[in-house]
Amino acid sequence: MLLFVLLGLSGGPVGVIFAATKESVALQNVGFATALVNMGAFLTAALIQSGFGVILDIVSVSEPGNTPNLQNYQIALILPFAISGLGVIASLLLRERDVRE
């Protein structure tokens, strides 16, 4: 149950990124930027899930016929962790749009 609570709480930043996008691009480009962020969110989710499966397949090759074990999942979790790290770095690089625009 705790895992589900943490998973639900971690979804909050998704809404914040749309507001950050709106505030960081020129007014004439807000619609395009919002659409790009929306597409990127869905694309990233799909690629992380696919990449997670590919990594599990690669690290489980050494054990044919066996299901992935805890160590295999820990290795595969490096991918979402790295993507999250890139998101944190990208958020630090955001700059607010000049008010005069």
pLDDT tens digits, one per residue of 63-77: 666 778 888 888 989
The answer to whether residue 35 scores a pLDDT higher than 90 is: yes
* C-alpha to C-alpha distance for 97 and 24, rounded to whole angstroms: 5
Does 59 map to a domain? yes
pLDDT category at 84 given cuts 50, 70, 90 is confident
What pLDDT score was predicted for residue 2?
Answer: 83
Does 98 map to a domain? no
Which domain, by its residues, includes 25? 2-93
What pLDDT score was predicted for residue 32?
Answer: 93
Does 37 map to a domain? yes
Does 85 map to a domain? yes
What pLDDT score was predicted for residue 57?
Answer: 86
* Total number of domains in the chain: 1
The answer to whether residue 49 scores a pLDDT higher than 70 is: yes
DSSP structure string for 20-57: HHHHHS-GGGHHHHHHHHHHHHHHHHHHHHHHHHHHHH
Q: What is the mean pLDDT of residues 50-73?
A: 82
Query: What average pLDDT is seen over the chain?
Result: 83
